[in-house]
A = this chain, B = another copy of it.
């Protein structure tokens, strides 16, 4: 499972609406509206980097309220939780 954090600046009048649409996209496991310099953080959990490429460079750009993105890929995860098990359920 590949995990990536996508930090986004979003048109200010479309923050909630964009978050709703994002979490419906296959591969996006969570979306948060956040304080600070960014408006939304989405966590993508996908089987392969090709899936991530499709997500970031094809499916997300359809949401034109997203003004800028900065994607950070997780090299390694450290957690008491079994994240692979928790999140790979229902991962096409």
Chain A residues with a Cβ under 8 A of chain B: 2-5, 12-13, 15-16, 19-20, 22-23, 29-39, 41, 49-50, 52-53, 56-58, 60-62, 64, 66, 69-81, 83, 86-87, 90
Contacts of A12 in B (CB 8 A): 60-61, 66, 69
Query: For the complex formed by this chain, how many copies does it contain in all?
Result: 10
A73-B23 contact, Cβ under 8 Å, with A29-B81, A58-B16, A79-B29 = no
Chain A interface helix/strand/loop/mixed? mixed
User: CA A79 – CA B80 in complex, angstroms?
Assistant: 21
A30-B83 contact, Cβ under 8 Å, with A22-B78, A41-B5, A78-B19 = yes
Contacts of A70 in B (CB 8 A): 36-37
Residue of B nearest to A20 (CB): B78
Are A30 and B71 within 8 A (Cβ)? no
